[in-house]
């Protein structure tokens, strides 16, 4: 055998050993937890046979030797294709030192992030790590800093997706928090700054990891997680689905898919979905699925701030971002959590040329002492800022209620909407008729022989005179009042008209969003 062939064989043996991660016992333990290995997860996520690994032989030569082969520094990095499109990714290997992050581990991640940005492709991180490699001391912390810097630097440049597939604790959680979307696996993933044991020793509070930072907590309470699923396979399938809605980077427009659904077909179902009585609730998703191609809607933050619904769909084949009040919950009113949820989604869509369609049925900003004290003014201002700053096509459809400051905040003409459409059932006013009538006609109601009947009549009088779409249309605040059945038709035509929209904000370093 020639010397070259011997060297090739040696290389192949080393590569094969590295694929074993921390060894068969640790791989078996990983499987017993219902978790895949770093490479198994990559193979599930990407198109078959497309993954090319980078820096596989990288090793921290200064670290003490262990019984396990630790080449690769506990993380697998590289590039691949998903649905034929280029992506870059890293997958932390929990079987190697618990996936702990050290200097070279961070170097590999930073390197693949740089390549993703330079080549205009999404970066996907599969996180499964016990935290910083303590034996490397401050070098581990410095490694986190390099990753955080790139998360921030490449924000709005390429889509950044984090998939939490095990523990993610301490400083490590801030990298996912800086990315665009976080996926979590139910009963397997956890994120927290301070673990249960440390929390108990410091505060005396006893809590398990799932209750502290599991998928359910972050999807429904903290709002840190955008998507969850019951298994790793389902989560990774959802990652693939999300990418189909997104462009590869900020220079591209989102991909267009063929649709069989015609834009000219009247949607008679819409007449029965939305109750005429504005005090009655309904699920806005029923409206969205009628309007969107193939009734497909990928909801974001489905378990958090349920009074607002956001997500991705397609109209006439093109990706759109949906922001919609859900009258089924809290009458669709805006509160602190829903304001944060909407504002960040709007800014993501604006970063990546995704038109924003707002379906409005809002009772107003939610009143209350707690909301006021916790900063509803500041949080509500985020929606105003996000809409006003966005330069992508922005369309609003007012279905029923559009009251007070919430009407202005939800993409009104005054803050930059390109087109505002209203159904005949729309009520656009400073406040609802039931609240306004007693204020305007209070003395007349009080003096009447039948105050309740007078109140009812004055409420209807206010509704007829003020709470309708025609006054707003007469003053240019509504572009057209449409038959609800023609909503999809008007959206298709409006998006076609706005396809070449070119609007640039003032040249400045950046604004100061009320964070």
Look up 171 and say whether it is catalytic.
Answer: yes
Angle between helices 284-291 and 487-497 (to 10 degrees): 60
Separation CA 103–CA 353 (nearest Å): 36
On whether the CB atoms of residues 146 and 110 are closer than 8 A, the answer is: yes
Look up 405 and say whether it is catalytic.
Answer: yes
For the CA atoms of 184, 187, 189, 192, what is the dihedral angle to 10 degrees? Answer: 110
**Terminal-residue alpha carbon distance, the chain:** 66
Separation CA 343–CA 338 (nearest Å): 8
Catalytic option among 216, 220, 303, 405:
405
> Helix-strand-coil percent breakdown of the chain, rounded to 5?
45, 20, 40
CA nearest 76: which of 56, 50, 46? Answer: 56
Question: What are the contacts of 25-33 at 24+ separation with CB within 8 A?
Answer: 26/68, 26/94, 26/95, 26/96, 27/95, 29/95, 30/94, 30/95, 33/188
On whether the CB atoms of residues 398 and 455 are closer than 8 A, the answer is: no
Separation CA 389–CA 346 (nearest Å): 10
Look up 137 and say whether it is catalytic.
Answer: no
Q: What is the DSSP string of 149-201?
A: HHHHHTTTTS-EEEEE-SEEEGGGGHHHHHSSEEEEETTT-EEESS-HHHHHH
Catalytic option among 80, 343, 406, 429:
406
CA nearest 160: which of 174, 145, 170? Answer: 174
Separation CA 390–CA 444 (nearest Å): 46
Catalytic option among 36, 131, 170, 332:
170
Q: Is the dihedral of CA 393, 268, 286, 423 positive or negative?
A: positive
Separation CA 463–CA 424 (nearest Å): 13
CA nearest 356: which of 323, 318, 317? Answer: 323
36: left (phi over 0), alpha (psi -120 to 50) or beta: beta
Separation CA 208–CA 272 (nearest Å): 47
Residues whose CB is less than 8 angstroms from the CB of residue 293 and which lie 6 or more positions away in sequence, other chains included: 257, 259, 261, 313, 314, 315, 316, 317
Separation CA 75–CA 72 (nearest Å): 6
Helix (H) or strand (E) holding 63: none
Supply the DSSP symbol for 303: T
Alpha carbon 65 to its chain centroid, in Å, reads: 42
Catalytic option among 23, 120, 156, 171:
171
The residues carrying an active-site annotation are 170-171, 405-406
């Amino acid at each position: 055998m020639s010397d070259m062939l011997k060297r090739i064989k040696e290389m192949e043996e080393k590569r094969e050993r590295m694929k074993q991660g921390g060894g068969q016992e640790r791989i078996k333990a990983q499987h017993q937890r219902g978790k895949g290995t770093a490479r198994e997860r990559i193979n599930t996520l990407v198109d078959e046979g497309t993954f090319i690994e980078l820096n596989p032989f990288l090793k921290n030569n200064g670290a003490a030797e262990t019984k396990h082969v630790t080449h690769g520094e506990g993380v697998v990095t590289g590039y691949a294709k998903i649905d034929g499109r280029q992506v870059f990714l890293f997958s932390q290997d929990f079987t190697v030192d618990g996936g702990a992050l050290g200097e070279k581990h961070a170097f590999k991640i930073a390197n693949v992030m740089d390549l993703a940005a330079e080549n205009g492709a999404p970066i996907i991180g599969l996180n499964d790590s016990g935290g910083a490699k303590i034996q490397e001391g401050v070098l581990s912390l410095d490694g986190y800093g390099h990753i955080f810097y790139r998360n921030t630097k490449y924000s709005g440049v390429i889509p950044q997706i984090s998939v939490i597939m095990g523990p993610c604790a301490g400083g490590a959680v801030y990298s996912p928090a800086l990315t665009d979307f976080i996926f979590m696996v139910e009963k397997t993933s956890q994120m927290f700054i301070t673990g249960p044991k440390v929390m108990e020793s410091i505060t005396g509070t006893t809590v398990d990891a799932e209750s502290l930072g599991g998928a359910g907590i972050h999807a429904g309470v903290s709002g840190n997680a955008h998507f969850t699923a019951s298994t790793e396979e389902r989560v990774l399938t959802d990652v693939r689905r999300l990418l189909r809605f997104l462009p590869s980077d900020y220079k591209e427009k989102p991909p267009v898919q063929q649709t069989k659904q015609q834009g000219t077909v009247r949607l008679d179902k819409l007449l029965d979905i939305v109750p005429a009585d504005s005090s009655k609730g309904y699920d806005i998703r029923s409206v969205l699925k009628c309007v969107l191609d193939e009734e497909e809607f990928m909801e974001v933050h489905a378990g958090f701030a349920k009074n607002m619904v956001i997500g991705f769909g397609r109209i006439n084949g093109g990706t759109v971002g949906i922001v919609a009040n859900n009258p089924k919950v809290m009458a669709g009113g805006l509160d602190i959590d829903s304001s944060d949820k909407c504002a960040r989604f709007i800014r993501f869509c604006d970063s990546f040329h995704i038109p924003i369609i707002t379906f409005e049925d809002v009772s107003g900003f939610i009143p209350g002492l707690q909301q006021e004290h916790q900063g509803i003014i500041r949080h509500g201002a985020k929606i105003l800022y996000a809409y006003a700053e966005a330069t992508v096509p922005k369309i609003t459809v007012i279905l029923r209620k559009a009251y007070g400051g919430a009407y202005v905040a939800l993409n009104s003409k005054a803050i930059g909407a390109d087109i505002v459409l209203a159904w005949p059932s729309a009520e656009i006013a400073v406040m609802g008729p039931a609240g306004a009538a007693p204020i305007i006609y209070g003395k007349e109601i009080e003096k009447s022989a039948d105050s309740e009947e007078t109140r009812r009549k004055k409420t209807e009088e206010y509704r007829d005179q003020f709470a309708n779409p025609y006054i707003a249309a007469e003053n240019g605040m509504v572009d057209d009042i449409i038959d609800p059945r023609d909503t999809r038709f008007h959206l298709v035509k409006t998006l076609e008209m706005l396809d070449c929209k070119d609007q640039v904000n003032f040249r400045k370093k950046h604004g100061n969003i009320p964070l």
